[in-house]
A and B are shown apart, each in its own frame.
Chain A
């Protein structure tokens, strides 16, 4: 049930930005655009980012957020973040822009990007699992 609600939330969030602001919901592009020009009149990016950051606070008013640990080592997190940043910028999109928005528009670029992202993520996770076992 939570998986279904989550799908609705993500989908409706994307549609809100499209219907009213006329923008594609691509998080990596928004972070890039915002940091490159924080005071630009196109501050819509800042507001989407603020909504994302504040969402756990709103959520926790109504629901309980189960506690969990991020087990990945700091240096590994830095490397992972760097690869995600380089990759999303090179391919001009990430999970939101390519895998949800792009795939839903049947963009061949985004479908290919999603298949590659998923495949390499599955392979990387399982290789690390194999090596560290």
Chain B
């Protein structure tokens, strides 16, 4: 992989992370306050969410029929349409975990760089969680 592609990959993570920081999305207390509809609800992250979707939509629309990126990389967009039990169960389990701690994978990485040591505990659960499924699936194949 050429160095320019490494740079653009790094920049994409950096810019995305800056977005999580400036909006406060990286701070689990803000995310939990976003879930707190019956209490001291802070709905502002909805603006961040909707805007990020809108910007991303413009980009995907522009790139819809392209097969190569600007740097001649093949574009692989997921084309699975199937809604299955795995999708439903997985999303539900994810939501429970997200609702408990207010942390999802992107913000978790930003929290490492923010030197929030407690986020290590989140990773102690996250990484085995990610491979737990792979292990089960390998056995069932």
- Give chain A's interface residues, CB within 8 Å of chain B: 2-25, 27-28, 31-32, 35-36, 41-45, 47-59, 63, 65, 68-72, 74-92, 94-96, 98-105, 107-109, 112-114, 116-126, 128-129
Contact = CB atoms under 8 A, between A and B. Distances in A.
B12 A16 contact: yes
B55 A11 contact: yes
A8 B51 contact: yes
A50 B115 CA distance: 14
Contacts of B11: 16, 51
Nearest to B51: A7
Contact of A13 (B12, B82, B119, B129): B12
Contacts of B15: 9, 12-13, 16, 51
Contact of A74 (B19, B86, B118): B118
Contacts of A92: 78, 80, 86-87, 90
Interface string B26-56: 1111001001111100001101111111111
Interface residues of B, number: 109
A122 B43 CA distance: 12
Classify the secondary structure of A's interface with B: helix
Given A23-B73, A83-B125, A103-B53, 11 more contacts: A6-B51, A13-B15, A44-B6, A48-B9, A70-B116, A75-B121, A83-B94, A85-B130, A105-B57, A121-B99, A129-B39
Classify the secondary structure of B's interface with A: helix
B31 to A, nearest CB: 9
Contact of B112 (A17, A18, A53, A87): A53
A88 B130 contact: yes
A76 B32 CA distance: 14
14 contacts: A20-B9, A23-B76, A51-B12, A63-B21, A72-B28, A80-B98, A81-B126, A82-B132, A83-B97, A84-B103, A85-B131, A98-B91, A103-B53, A126-B38
